[in-house]
Amino acid sequence: MGCSSCGTKTGGGCSPAGCKSNGTCGTSGCNALNVYDWFRDMELPDDFVPFNIVEVRFKGSRKEYFRNTEHLELYNGDYIAVESSVGFDVGTVSATGEIVRLQLKKHRIPEDSERLQRILRKASDRDLEKNQEMKDRENATLERARTIAFDLNLQMKISDIEIQGDGRKVILFYTAEQRVDFRELIRRYADEFRMKIEMRHISYREEASRLGGIGVCGRQLCCSTWLTDYKMVTTGAARTQNLSINMEKLAGQCGRLKCCLNYELDLYVEYLDNFPKAKIVKLETEAGTAYSRKTDILKQLMWFSYEDSQTWVALEVNKVKEYMEDNRQGKNVAALQDIAAASQVLDNTANEAPEIIGGAALLEDREMEMEMRKKREEQNRGRQGGQGRQGSQGRQGPQGRQGYRGGSGQPQKNQPENRNQPPSANRPDNRNQGPPKNRGEQRGPRPEHRGPRPDNRNRGPKPEGPPKP
């Protein structure tokens, strides 16, 4: 038999193989959104009356509260039969005692609310078998419910379904962008399933919480394990943390912005107070104006570079403020290369790895690389110049053309080598061979005399012909 909370196969009892000695599925970490009872180790007075409201968990971490009017001795993980609008349902006790009183305050549910129904009894074997039978029917019912909604062309998505323990009621959870008129849909469902239909609209975050999953961090979703309230998440949180606005990476499985974007937002806001308020910070140095390119909020660093340079230098925020104050007083600070070298010395004295991009060591490597590149370019120019000179001596001939186009500059095979003759000796004399050939048909020679043009200025009027029919 499988555990209704975590779905693991159990041999004897309710302890899955993964939990080992951590307890049963109803009391250990297998359940999502568990409530830790801070008062369980406290000894209560003998005349103390326990709190008579119990927190009960159902499928998909759905929790409701019921009154223990029968004063049953209940513990976490017990299966009980509770009252419903139609018939009864079977759930698992998730919290009892004074911790439930705090949970009611958190969810703003008054203790004397009339919505709180009562606990009927502890679940019997017959109740558990009936409940398991209903759970086995949920997959087929969900597939059929989605098919009917698709046939009616409704703009909604049936995300999950929950059949009551006695099989007399079914709850369908759906998501939709706009209001949906599902009166005809409920009639079809009632005729198809022969149960009372209840439609519950949930948000996309609640849908992800019910279905569960693994996030990009490799752990279970926060909304399905411990997160109970969903705060508003905006793109401003991502901009504050210097994250690129890429919705494919910032969106969670619900299609909305990840809730974890708010976890460290307060820390980033506090650290940002130390940075200059200007969007682009400028430093007037002896080598020119340096602009801020990047900021590392947690390390309190800012990268600067010149406009025509790709070398970035990392400076501490406190140093940047000092340099900005010097600029206000009309003083120019040293060049970035000198500032980077000084920063590196200070970091070495603190026995910390310098976080400098384009520091003194990198600048020396860059200068050596530029020198090597210049030497290679000069060598390539010398080689190309030698080939060009060799080709220029016979440019009009076949040897010259070969050398000019990047060939070896050597004479082709089956051709005489005329190195000692002037360039004009290798030039073919095509002056008396007629006009050059075009791509089209070759035109004949132009006649020397075509004769005078006829003078038609004094021909007189044009004779009229017979009238047209």
What tens digit of pLDDT does each residue of 286-322 get? 888 888 888 889 988 888 888 888 888 888 888 888 8
Domain boundaries, the chain: 53-123, 133-202, 210-271, 276-362
pLDDT digits (tens, 9 = 90+) for 316-365: 888 888 888 888 888 888 888 777 655 543 333 344 444 444 444 444 55
3-state SS record for the chain: CECCCCCCECCCCCCCCCCCCCCCCCCCCCCCCCCCCCCCCCCCCCCCCCCCEEEEECHHHCEEEEECCCCCCCCCCCEEEEECCCCEEEEEEEECCHHHHHHHHHCCCCCCCCCCEEEEEECCHHHHHHHHHHHHCHHHHHHHHHHHHHHCCCCCEEEEEEECCCCCEEEEEEECCCCCCCHHHHHHHHHHHCCEEEEEECCHHHHHHHHCCECCCCCECHHHCCCCCCCCCCHHHHHHCCCCCCHHHHECCCCCECHHHHCCHHHHHHHHCCCCCCCCCEEEECCEEEEEEEEECCCCEEEEEECCCCCCEEEEHHHHHHHHHHHHCCCCECCHHHHHHHHHHHHHHCCCCCCCCCCHHHHHHHHHHHHHHHHHHHHHHHHHHHHHHHHHHCCCCHHHHHHHCCCCCCCCCCCCCCCCCCHHHHCCCCCCCCCCCCCCCCCCCCCCCCCCCCCCCCCCCCCCCCCCC
Which residue carries 């961090």 as its tokens?
217
Contacts of 434 (CB under 8 A, 6+ apart): 445
In this prediction, residue 110 carries a pLDDT of: 92
- Ranges of residues in the chain with a pLDDT under 70 are 1-32, 340-369, 383-469
In this prediction, residue 466 carries a pLDDT of: 58
Contacts of 425 (CB under 8 A, 6+ apart): 418
> If one looks up domain 133-202 in CATH, what number appears?
3.30.300.20
**In the structure encoding, which two tokens stand for residue 286, read together?**
């002896």
In this prediction, residue 91 carries a pLDDT of: 94
pTM of the model: 0.59
Provide the b/e sequence for 32-66 (b: ≥16 CB within 10 Å). Answer: bbbbebeeeeeeeeeeeeeebbbbbbbbbbbbbbb
Q: Residue 334 and residue 359: Cα distance in Å, rounded?
A: 14
In this prediction, residue 175 carries a pLDDT of: 93
In this prediction, residue 45 carries a pLDDT of: 82
